Amino acid sequence: MGNLMKFIKKFFKKNISAKQTADIDDISGDLEPAYVETNLRRQYLQTMVESLPPSVQSKLVMMKNMQLERIYDEKEFYVRVFEMEVDQNESNQEMYRKRRAIIEGTWQPPDTVPSYKVPDPLEPKAAVYFREALAKFKSVPPETRGIPDFWITVFRNTCIAGMIQEQDVPALRFLVDISIHYGKKKPSFTLMFHFAKNHFFMDQFLTKTYFLKMGIDNRNPFSFEGPQITHCRGCEIFWEPNMNLTTEVRQKKLRHRGDGDQRIIYETYLADSFFNFFDPPLMKMRKDNYSEKHKALRADFKIAQYLRTRIIPKAVLYFTGDIVEENFVRDEDDTTDEYSDDEKKDDDYEKYDFSDVISDESSTQSM
């Protein structure tokens, strides 16, 4: 299976690089539309339809009318899915409440036996190696309240690991819960990060709200693929003095031109930090914009969906290793990671999958 997928990947890249063209002089009736640049491809196909006999065009009009009816039915489907999501979220709250209490150590659950299949034992050599590598965990006291480093461990088993810098770890050890909040006034969902009292910032929780495009664009109804994230809003973090993890202070020596005396000034720079997640660019996603800020927004939207649909609902399974994400390793003979124009334009908004929900920004601010 691996060799087959590798062959398909290479074949696809080879054919795109060889056949894709934006030169209108190269377009003929024998050219496969898939290899034509997006805008020309649309005009090529529309002209092809206009060239067909009226009887065939009439059939295509009927089919497009049926497709449009299906699109409006699909929108209603997503409304029903949303209503089910709201109900499911309510039923999950008791589990989330108990999970947080266990992590914080405010509830000591009774000893119990697994109702699931226990993983097979490790290969002996691997077991010895891992136990030595993880010897530090033997220092956790037997009567420890709660689960130390729960969310950090979860993050380190996911794509979130790349966001965490060394200076972030002490602050993230105070993270006790991540919750999702839903409402009905605005099409959005809010991720809320709950922290125990700490010496890094005064906030009890930090929030990030993602806004959705729910309706059908009447100018281009056939582009509807379900609700999509269009923009997001973070929150201000009230850092304790000299504890801001998103900035760093550097010394800079200045020499006076006249007398040659030196003096030192201090300049503040933006630092890489997990907590930059709460300070996104304040802009809406535009279909025709591929600036660095928009690329960052697209990545941010994917992380939000990942947190909302996978990490938050199944956090314990990431902690225990029952869910391990696939490693994406570049093949040695892979030629390029660059995207074609068509691939870029298919990523205008982050798609809203079945488990997406709607939240009310105002409701989270009062919690």
Domain residue limits, the chain: 52-365
The pLDDT, as a whole number, for residue 84 is 82
Residues paired with 249 in a beta bridge: 268
52-365 belongs to which CATH class?
alpha beta
- The confidence score (pLDDT) of residue 335 equals 42
Q: What is the pTM of this model?
A: 0.73
pLDDT of residue 362: 40
**What pLDDT score does 257 carry?**
66
At 152 the pLDDT is 94
What does the pLDDT profile of the chain (367 residues) look like in tens digits? 556 656 555 555 555 554 455 455 665 656 677 776 777 778 888 888 998 999 999 999 999 999 999 999 998 888 788 778 778 878 899 999 999 999 999 999 999 999 988 888 878 888 788 888 777 776 778 788 899 999 999 999 998 999 999 999 999 999 999 999 976 677 789 999 999 999 999 999 999 999 888 788 888 888 888 778 888 999 999 999 999 999 987 777 666 666 666 766 667 788 999 999 999 887 776 655 567 777 888 889 999 989 988 999 999 999 999 998 776 444 444 444 444 444 444 444 444 443 333 334 444 444 4
Query: Bridge partners of 194?
Result: 177, 205
